[in-house]
């Protein structure tokens, strides 16, 4: 089955700096890669996603890059703010009717004011 690895497990940055979280996946058939932000006790919140037919996607301060050959994808957050502090999860799935997600282990991001 699919295996998703995520690094780093914790990340502290100064407010205004950029944060980068990286994930690798094992199944070359995976074609959908969402990123979630989860606050304590809450549901995961989709912040950005990318499909395998594109290499990069951006939404304001958030961007995701995908390298299909190397089977890795990354989340980039620019101009970080204290409210960006949360746990971030990457995930991968093979799109279709099942869309079962395999999650990475998570990154605790702390933005220091």
Binding site for other proteins (CB under 8 A): 32, 34, 41-44, 46, 49, 51, 89, 93, 95, 97-106
CA 101 to each of CA 31, 36, 97: distance values in angstroms, whole numbers, following the listed order = 11, 12, 12
Of 10 and 81, which has the nearer Cβ to other proteins? Answer: 10
What is the closest distance, in whole angstroms, from the C-beta atom of residue 79 to other proteins in the complex? 26
What is the closest distance, in whole angstroms, from the C-beta atom of residue 48 to other proteins in the complex? 11
Beta strands in the chain (DSSP E): 4-7, 10-14, 19-25, 32-38, 45-51, 56-59, 62-67, 72-77, 86-92, 102-103, 107-112
What DSSP character marks residue 82? G
What is the closest distance, in whole angstroms, from the C-beta atom of residue 86 to other proteins in the complex? 13
Of 66 and 101, which has the nearer Cβ to other proteins? Answer: 101
Whether the CB-CB separation of 90 and 23 falls below 8 Å is answered with: yes
Of 10 and 18, which has the nearer Cβ to other proteins? Answer: 10
Of 63 and 104, which has the nearer Cβ to other proteins? Answer: 104
């Amino acid at each position: 089955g699919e295996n998703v690895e995520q690094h780093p497990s914790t990340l502290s940055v100064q407010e205004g700096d950029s944060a980068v979280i990286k994930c690798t996946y094992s199944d070359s058939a995976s074609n959908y890669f969402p990123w979630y932000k989860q606050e304590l006790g809450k549901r995961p919140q989709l912040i950005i996603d990318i499909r395998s037919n594109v290499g990069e996607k951006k939404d304001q301060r958030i961007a995701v890059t995908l390298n299909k050959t190397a089977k890795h994808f990354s989340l980039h957050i620019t101009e970080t703010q204290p409210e960006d502090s949360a746990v971030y999860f990457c995930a991968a799935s093979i799109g279709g009717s099942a869309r079962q997600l395999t999650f990475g282990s998570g990154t605790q991001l702390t933005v220091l004011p």
